[in-house]
């Protein structure tokens, strides 16, 4: 019989500095009113100079490990989802492996943008279920402020920095009942960072033209997101052998309050059952779901035995969803 995988510890970390909407009113043609009504965002966090993704990831991971009551050396694997690593070599996961003292863990980063945490959770679940590993740390971390073009009002106001982590381990009851991940690379142009890779290595020109920053076709992503959030949630719920009315709590990716509300409505979920922190943090890409999950648990909104849906979408394009019978 398969082992059961579940989340046995969670943690998160956001930077100290808060950047409110009025900051943007001073540097570009926008307003608190536009940002609030079109996105639901009031403020976001930004790392300090000298700080990097692995610093946030380390603190989130430490809290998740403490909450799981395992020791770092009991970790078999570390998976970090990020599109903003400290550098392209080494991986953030290897930095964490060293700093945490997770001497027995394999470590790798994965890139699936905002869906990355669900991708990581899916990989971890396989290793636990097939009996190969017992404890796996999955982290979603982003420092999107480092790839934001502060001259582009269509993207600058949306993003924030943060990290969330979960330890996935063997559980007796409940656990991760289903996961579902997918991709559609034909939509890859909708969200892009053009320079800094092998196609266009860094040059004076690429820096002068701001090509290391993210660009986005907002309305195309918006339409895709509303459709996919519902579709992916339904597939994960069905794979778990459940119906939407069996869902106790919904933790969606935090990209836009209008996307969250539209997908909750399509699923017939009351907003009381939906976690929202986009007002405080903006879109933290792969960190959004694990930070929201950690906060919802700590606030008592997710309790042991609850069926929780997590669902995300993002650049690539990618998407991912899971149903977790909460075991903490």
Residue 94 a catalytic site member: no
Calpha distance 139→164 (Å, rounded): 6
DSSP conformation letters of 150-205: TT-HHHHTTB-EEEEEEEEEE-SSSEEEEEEEEE-GGGGGGEE--SSSSSS---HH
Residue 114 a catalytic site member: yes
Judged by CB under 6 A, the chain residues 238 through 267 that form the site for ligand ACO are 255-256
Residue 61 or 114 having the CB closest to ligand ACO: 114
Residue 283 a catalytic site member: yes
DSSP state of 302: S
SS3 93: helix
Judged by CB under 6 A, the chain residues 139 through 168 that form the site for ligand ACO are 153-154, 157
By C-alpha distance, which of 136, 138, 125, 168 is closest to 2? 125
Residue 192 or 248 having the CB closest to ligand ACO: 192
By C-alpha distance, which of 269, 241, 239, 243 is closest to 252? 269
Judged by CB under 6 A, the chain residues 56 through 115 that form the site for ligand ACO are 113-114
Calpha distance 82→212 (Å, rounded): 16
Among 277, 283, 307, 325, the one annotated catalytic: 283
Is 38 near ligand ACO (CB under 6 A)? yes
Residue 3 or 256 having the CB closest to ligand ACO: 256
Q: What's the min distance (Å) between Cβ of 203 and ligand ACO?
A: 24
Residues that bind ligand ACO (CB under 6 A): 30, 34-35, 38-39, 113-114, 153-154, 157, 191, 218-219, 221-222, 225, 255-256, 283, 285, 314-315
Cite the active site residues.
114, 253, 283
């Amino acid at each position: 019989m398969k082992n059961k995988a579940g989340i046995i510890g969670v943690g998160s970390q956001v930077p100290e500095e808060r950047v409110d909407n009025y900051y943007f009113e001073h540097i570009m043609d926008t307003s608190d009113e536009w940002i609030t009504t079109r996105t639901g965002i009031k403020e976001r966090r930004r790392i300090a100079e000298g700080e990097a993704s692995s610093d946030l990831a380390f603190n989130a991971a430490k809290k998740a490990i403490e909450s799981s009551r395992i020791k770092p050396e009991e970790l078999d694997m570390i998976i970090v989802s990020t599109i903003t690593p400290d550098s392209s070599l080494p991986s953030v996961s290897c930095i964490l492996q060293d700093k945490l003292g997770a001497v027995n863990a394999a470590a790798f980063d994965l890139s699936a943008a905002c869906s990355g945490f669900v991708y990581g959770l899916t990989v971890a679940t396989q290793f636990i279920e097939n009996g190969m590993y017992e404890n796996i740390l999955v982290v979603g971390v982003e420092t999107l402020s480092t790839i934001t073009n502060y001259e582009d009002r269509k993207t600058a106001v949306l993003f924030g920095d943060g990290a969330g982590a979960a330890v996935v381990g063997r559980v007796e009851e409940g656990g991760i009942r289903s996961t579902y991940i997918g991709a559609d690379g034909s939509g890859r142009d909708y969200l892009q960072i053009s320079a800094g890779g092998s196609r266009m290595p860094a040059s004076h020109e690429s820096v002068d033209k701001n090509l290391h920053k993210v660009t986005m076709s907002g309305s195309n992503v918006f339409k895709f997101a509303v459709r996919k959030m519902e579709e992916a949630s339904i597939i994960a719920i069905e794979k778990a052998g459940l119906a939407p009315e069996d869902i106790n709590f919904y933790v969606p990716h935090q990209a836009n309050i209008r996307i969250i509300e539209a997908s909750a409505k399509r699923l017939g979920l009351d907003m009381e059952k939906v976690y929202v922190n986009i007002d405080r943090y903006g879109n933290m890409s792969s960190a959004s779901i694990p930070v929201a999950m950690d906060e919802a648990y700590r606030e008592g909104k997710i309790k042991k035995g609850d069926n929780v849906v997590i669902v995300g979408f993002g650049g690539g394009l990618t998407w991912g969803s899971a149903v977790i019978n909460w075991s903490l």
